[in-house]
A and B are shown apart, each in its own frame.
Chain A
Amino acid sequence: MTKPGTTGLIFNEPELWEKSREGRCGISMPRSDVPRADLDPALIDEAPELPQLSELDVVRHFTRLSQWNFCIDSGMYPLGSCTMKYNPKTNEVQAARKGFVVAHPLAGDEFSQGALKLMYELEQLLGEITGFPAVTLQPAAGAHGELAGMLMIHAWHAKQGKQRSKILIPDTAHGTNPASATLCGYKSVNIKSGPKGILDPQTVAEAMDEDTAGIMITNPNTLGLFEENIQEVCDIVHAKGGLVYGDGANMNAVMGIIKPGELGIDVLHLNLHKTFSTPHGGGGPGSGPVAVVQDLVPFLPVPRIQKENGTYSFITDCPDTIGRMHTFYGHFGVLVRAFAYILTMGGEGLKRASQLAVLNANYIKESLKTTLDLPYDRPCMHECVFTDKGVQKHHISTMDMAKRLLDYGFHPPTVYFPLVVDAAFMVEPTETESKDDIDQFIEAVKAIVKEAASNPDKLHSAPNLPKVTRLDEVGAARKPCLKG
């Protein structure tokens, strides 16, 4: 099979100002149809020093920059914990519809019924998928959703009349969890996962006390394993008066298979930009809706959306609310994509997506477990974690293998995360890769492991094909150069 990575013509591109020529402008200006009205000269300064470019200059500039990047539309991007799956283009088309794009957030309820209906129904759909009675769409992304959820847990404890000081966080939780808890004033207590890579209820029982507000559990966890004891853990935490926060960033593995709200989770955030079809390369925007159990509904952020006699409106009169988490109503364009994705997939389609995500990860795990070290040899969910233990004797590291994968035409997997495994090599193929492409990836990893023994320098010097070869990451961290 031909490996996708090869050499090719890559264009250099100067900064915009280098291409600037006096008098050029890349847009056609609307013709003026009203009299000119000069401002007081005292209020006017020189025009900003923006570059002066033709339309073609601009098109080439940004097209060339885009070609320096690896993207899901050009190759497999098995970045564990990030869910870099293919997002159907139809969802981009729906989000770009004029009625949504030009909707103004200050237009008022009566002029925004379509947008409000979409948001109201998306809340219902996400509630159905997760098993919770209510959802807020406000948080801007996953960690922001965590903060919203933890603020609600904090507010709930305050309402009970006694605030607590600690929160339990397993070593297999997402790294943002302790930060979100700390922002709410809680002290994080680290809980070690058991020998099977999942939580041992006994460990939770020993740590849980009446000064502990609850636990934050990522499920499936960052080892890609399902927390099989989740219901028992929830019972232990509830028995001591605590609440359970579920990090649903990995929901793409269990859609239609479990409902976290039925397992004992009290609050759960989702990453629409991972699971529900929003491209999240380039930094967003994301969206981190939060679902809650009935007891926490009064604490949801405002404004909330209500439906009365077929009319949708915002309500803000919620005395126990934690307040507003975002200007306006969240990242609306992402909500449109998620809504379109859920409707086009349907319940069965979402379940099938999760099943294929899990099947693909297990196929890779089984195919590579005699090639790479597999610390937890048990069925995984949507991602599998290897290490560099088997190639260390050739002085080859996880980083060397990851860099060499670029020469083969694959984006490297996540490396050195989760921290619970030394030198992790974490692969998440997602449901959207075909068996052919996954087989190519597997063959590439096998070839690289062979090279580790026969020609280790090829790995040490990798990558050789991308525009930029191995970067001095230590130098970049210690002496960052923040300008061109």
Chain B
Amino acid sequence: MTAAVYMAAAGKNGIREIAQLNHDKAVYLKNALVGAGFSSVYSGAFFNEFILKAPAGFAAKRRELAKKHNLYAGVPLESYYPDMLDHYLFCATETVPRQAMDLLVKEVQ
């Protein structure tokens, strides 16, 4: 029901624009995090989710970000893929403002 109303409201052009915004934000966040010391893991195309390897000390920083800024930075992948220690799945959608992404990058630098 919710999905039907959402698709009707967004429509053909709206859904396309939302998709573009998702990708724009995800590319911005990925580039910014790589600039802050994270490592890109895959080189293929992505939409709004991507995996990065975090620098040392990120796990503690991540907890602090949640407490201090209500900012939930990435899903740790180790419990799903044991060989992916320090790897995180990030996502940015049309709902995430640049300000929040900039804050994350500033905090992890």
Contact = CB atoms under 8 A, between A and B. Distances in A.
A468 interface: no
Given A29-B17, A39-B45, A40-B45, A50 B23 contact: no
Contacts of B20: 36
Closest 10 pairs between A and B when the two form their complex, measured CB to CB? A26-B9, A37-B27, A34-B28, A33-B98, A47-B16, A52-B11, A25-B14, A50-B12, A58-B8, A58-B9
A26 B9 CA distance: 4
A47 to B, nearest CB: 4
Interface of B: 1, 4-5, 7-18, 20-21, 23-25, 27-28, 45, 47, 63, 66, 72, 75-76, 94-95, 97-98, 101
Nearest to B46: A39
Contact of A282 (B1, B13, B27, B75): B1
A481 interface: no
Contacts of A108: 76
Contacts of A34: 24-25, 27-28, 98, 101
Interface size range on A against B? 35 or more
A482 interface: no
A62 B97 CA distance: 31
B8 A106 contact: no
Interface of A: 16, 20, 23-27, 29-30, 32-37, 39-40, 43, 47-53, 55, 58, 61-62, 104, 106-108, 110-111, 282
A40 B28 CA distance: 16
Say whether chain A's binding surface is mostly helix, strand, loop, or mixed: loop
Contact of B10 (A27, A43, A107): A27
Given A16-B8, A30-B95, A110 B63 contact: yes
B72 A27 contact: no
Given A33-B97, A37-B23, A40-B45, A26 B28 contact: no
B100 to A, nearest CB: 11
B11 A37 contact: no
